[in-house]
Each structure stands twice: as structure tokens, then as C-alpha cells.
Amino acid sequence: MMDKIFLNGMKFYSYHGVFDEENKLGQIFIVDAVLSLDLQEAGATDDLETTINYGEVFHLIEKEMQTPSKLLEHVAERIVRTLFRQYDRLEEATIKITKQNPPIAGHYDGVGVEIHRVR
């Protein structure tokens, strides 16, 4: 079983969607990330170089969220690819993106995607 780093409830104002109004108006998206890696060395040494810096992860995700896409699936894949390129220690990643106010009639807390990738 891998150790995990998680960043929950990151909020970004972005422009993702199939419909024109989504791309013009934008909305808040919520992103959750779970990063799986061996944290034993970090736990023993207390050295930031032996883990993944949460602040850096936030900014990498923020950058990808600022790039418009039609599909959240595409955004999530970009995020995972970026994280794998940046962090050799990263073995697995789960990214969940929630769109709270999609142009769909009904009552719900949100819709979205969650992907899980293994290096």
C-alpha cells in the first residue's frame, strides 16, 4: 500500500465547458488530488527534498485549470501528465474535478470526473 499526499477542495475560477456561456462566464471548479508515493524517507529525515511540495502541486494544478478545455476529462489528464513529469517519486495520482453549476436542469451539488492513473 502506498503512502498518500492529498490536496482537497482547491477552488479555481476557470472556463471549461462545451457551451458558449460556460466559456464566456466561467465558474468555480473544485479539484481534489491524491498523490501516492513512498513517504518513508521523508518521515525519517524531515527533508522536503524527499517528498512532494504541496505548494508546488497547487500551482501546477492552478496553471492547468487556467487553460480552457471543453471536457473536464481533458483537464484531469493534463494535470496528471504534468504531475508525473514534474515528480519522479510520484507513483499514482487521482484527480477529481467538480463543476458545481453546470448548465443542467436539476438539483445537485455538482458533476464532474475522477481519474486514477499509475505511472
> Known catalytic residues?
99
What is the DSSP code (8-state) at residue 106?
S
CA distance 75 to 31: 11
CB-based contacts of 119, cutoff 8 Å, min separation 6: 84, 90, 91, 92
Helices (H), 1-119: 20-25, 40-45, 54-65, 72-86
CA distance 83 to 5: 13
Contact assessment for residue 76 and residue 118, using Cβ atoms and an 8 Å cutoff: no
